[in-house]
Structure formats: structure tokens, C-alpha cells
Amino acid sequence: LIHIWDNKNKHKGNNNNITRQTSFGVTVRVHGTSQAVALRVLDIAINSFELLSSIMEIPLPLNKIDFILIPDYDGGMENWGHVLLSENLATYGDDAHLTYVIAHELAHHWIGNQATVDSWRWICLQVCEE
């Protein structure tokens, strides 16, 4: 998937990778086709990551996380160390919805990956339908 996406954007000649570190040293990188959109995602991702780290009080054993903006993709999907995100949502979505999707996918790095629920009562935290 990344290889196909990379080749598609190399032909466009406008691939932008923007990187910043959180206050606790995790590198957050956004791969996108527009610098302005990548910066928007990066700002929201850093703020969401900082807030979730504070709430969870469990550090993630990651030294980096990548956000990959995908054309013709809907919503978001997290995998350990990276998040796939709709380029359309990142470009045209309102701030509240984009923040929700980014925070939701980041939260899965803690809930479901680092910790799991101990009761069916909390199963809605494990995997939430959007």
C-alpha cells in the first residue's frame, strides 16, 4: 500500500513529509501531497498525542509514529506505529471531525494495543464503530 501510494505521489512531484517531536520525544511524521494539509494534520496529531499520553498515563514504547494521507480513502485506520488517513478528510474536513478521527486512531495505540478491557461492560472502548 505504501509503495503504491509513494509511486503515485512521485509522479505528481509534490510529496511533502513534515516531522515534529512530542514533548516526550516521540517523532510524529506526516506524509502528504500538500504542505499546508500535512501541517494541519501534524498540529492536530501532536496535540492529540500529548493529551492522550497525559490521560492514559502509560507511555507508548514507540520512538515514532507516521500519518500517511491516502487519496481515495475514507476515514482512518491505525496500525502499530502508523495511521492511514483520508487525504480528502485532511484537506476538506472540518477541524472537529478531523480531530475526532486522528484522536480515535491514536487512542487505539493504547486501548487494544497496550491494554485491553477487563469486562464486556467496556467493550465499546475496544473497537468503536464510526
Strand duo 27-32 + 16-21: pairing:
antiparallel
Enclosing H/E stretch for 39: helix 35-56
Mean pLDDT, to the nearest integer, of 113-128? 59
Do residues 57 and 42 lie in contact, with contact meaning Cβ atoms separated by under 8 Å?
no
Mean pLDDT, to the nearest integer, of 87-104? 94
* CATH number, position 116: 1.10.390.10
How far is residue 77's CA from residue 85's CA, in Å, rounded to a whole number?
7
Mean pLDDT, to the nearest integer, of 48-70? 91
The per-residue pLDDT for 111 is: 78
How far is residue 86's CA from residue 91's CA, in Å, rounded to a whole number?
9
Give me the chain's average pLDDT, please.
82
Containing domain of residue 34, as a range? 2-126
Annotated active-site residue in 50, 57, 87, 105: 105
Q: How far is CA 6 from the centre of its chain?
A: 18
105 is catalytic: yes
Question: What is the full DSSP assignment across 42-101?
Answer: HHHHHHHHHHHHHHH----S-SEEEEEEETT--SEEEETTEEEEEHHHHHHS-HHHHHHH
The per-residue pLDDT for 13 is: 40
Count structural domains, the chain.
1
Residues 2-55: tens digit of each pLDDT: 444 454 444 344 568 999 999 989 999 999 989 999 999 999 999 999 999 998
Under DSSP, the state recorded for 113 is T
Q: Express as a percent the part of the chain with pLDDT over 70.
A: 74
* pTM exceeding 0.85: no
